[in-house]
A and B are shown apart, each in its own frame.
Chain A
Amino acid sequence: MGGPGARRGAYHGALGSWQTSEAPRASEHEAARGEMTSPAETESLGDRAAAALVGYREGHAELMSEFVREATPMLWHTVRAQGVPREVADDVVQQTWAALVAHVESITEPQATLKWLLVTARRAAWEAVRKGRADDHRRTELPDDDADTAATLPDTAPGPEAEVLRDERDRMLWTALQQLPGRCQELLRLVSLADRPDYRSISAAIGMPVGSIGATRGRCLAKLRAVLTEQGETSWT
């Protein structure tokens, strides 16, 4: 895996290919470069989503390309949290990004881009789960169905958790996390993936009022710590 810079360079051509007919005007280009070089700490993921959308509409795809790299993990875990198998989740994430292109002109408020993506990913995930159930149902109704071809979609992460969580403290934290309510787990994972939590986006994505996100995050974290302490892990408290 190359660094972010290398990736941006390599894929600039692919993502920007439909806009090669018209070079961006110098002033716009300067503006885009200014956005890119501004320090990341001063803006949230939601701000970068807005800048990517605006830049994309104006005909340069660099910010969008970089934003796709940055936000794909958040979309991935949002989709997976709804119970979508890995292979299908791959499609759903792609579809969500493609839908952003299709709706690029209809998002009236650029600041709502991240929220739009998370909500779209979540709905598409539910739809995929619904379709998956319907397919399973159809399969079980076919008497001559080949057992080898049915249900070949893997449902879990590659490799048992024990293999990736060799460290005792890692296992403890993971086990503790699993003991929290589902929405708590989803909230903590989303918050942990945004370098500066964007509560407006996250609240819409998991259907929780904006005002309660901060408090809920605090409660989920405190609960996580309490579970860890019960297990004898004290270094977090």
Chain B
Amino acid sequence: MDMTDLDGVVGADDPLDASDVALLERVAELSGRVDPVPEGLVERSRFAMTLAGLESEVMELMVLEAPAGTVRSDAPPLETRTITFTHERLTVMIALSPGDEPRTVRVDGWLAPAETLTVVLRRPDGDHRTTADDDGRFVLENVPRGLASLLVEQDDLPITTPVIEL
């Protein structure tokens, strides 16, 4: 169907009435049910804004591959999962597994191409820093679960991942 098929529909020029409003409310309600906004997206967005306020300019990595639901807060808590972030200049892969302490995770990461760069895991309550080795590997142990974003420090432009739920 083309937009021109809408010409000459009876009632098209009537002002918005109560039944229109009721119909629109149902449309909104159904959209929300069929394609719900992911759990925690508002919180992740707010933290992403906080982080954006800290860095003047960053290069954003995008999620390349992630098992369904793993970046959302309803992700299974204690399973090992791997998330890959990518950009033209850098790929970051992280494997998450339960930490030694309760409610923590261990982050095993790889940078490709391999480079000894500082990696900062940013959380609402503070940063965890480490440095990738010659093979581009880095480990962050006993990171409390919750919102987090990785920042890789480069000479000119820091590279960040979207906010995910550890």
Contact = CB atoms under 8 A, between A and B. Distances in A.
Contact of A221 (B1, B20, B47, B57): B20
Given A94-B48, A102-B52, A184-B6, A68 B1 contact: no
Contacts of A72: 37, 41-42, 45
A189 B31 CA distance: 7
Interface stretch (B58-66, B110-118, B135-143, B151-159): B58-66
B53 interface: yes
A109 to B, nearest CB: 21
B41 A76 contact: yes
A135 B64 contact: yes
Contacts of A179: 1
A226 B25 CA distance: 18
A98 B20 contact: no
A222 B10 contact: yes
Contacts of A11: 43, 46
Contacts of B1: 179-181
A157 interface: yes
B19 A236 contact: yes
Contacts of B31: 77, 189, 192-193
Interface size class, chain A: 35 or more
A170 B22 CA distance: 13
A97 B53 CA distance: 11
B68 A87 contact: yes
Nearest to B39: A1
Interface string A68-90: 11001100110010000011101
Interface in A196-237: 215-226, 236-237
B30 A173 contact: yes
A18 B49 CA distance: 10
B145 interface: no
Interface residues of B, number: 61
Nearest to B51: A98
Interface in A16-61: 17-19
Contact of A128 (B19, B41, B62): B62
A87 B165 CA distance: 13
Contacts of A184: 3, 6
A78 B5 CA distance: 24
Contact of B54 (A15, A18, A149, A224): A18
Contacts of B90: none
A90 B68 CA distance: 12
**5 cross-chain pairs, A with B, having the tightest CB-CB distances, nearest first:** A98-B52, A192-B28, A101-B52, A192-B24, A219-B6
27 contacts: A18-B50, A65-B46, A68-B46, A72-B41, A72-B45, A73-B32, A73-B37, A77-B31, A77-B35, A88-B62, A90-B38, A93-B45, A94-B41, A94-B44, A97-B49, A101-B49, A102-B52, A152-B67, A165-B33, A177-B30, A181-B5, A181-B6, A188-B24, A192-B31, A222-B9, A236-B23, A237-B19
Interface of A: 7, 11, 13-15, 17-19, 64-65, 68-69, 72-73, 76-77, 80, 86-88, 90-91, 93-95, 97-102, 128, 131, 135, 149, 152-154, 157-158, 161, 164-165, 170, 173-174, 177, 179-181, 183-184, 188-189, 191-193, 215-226, 236-237
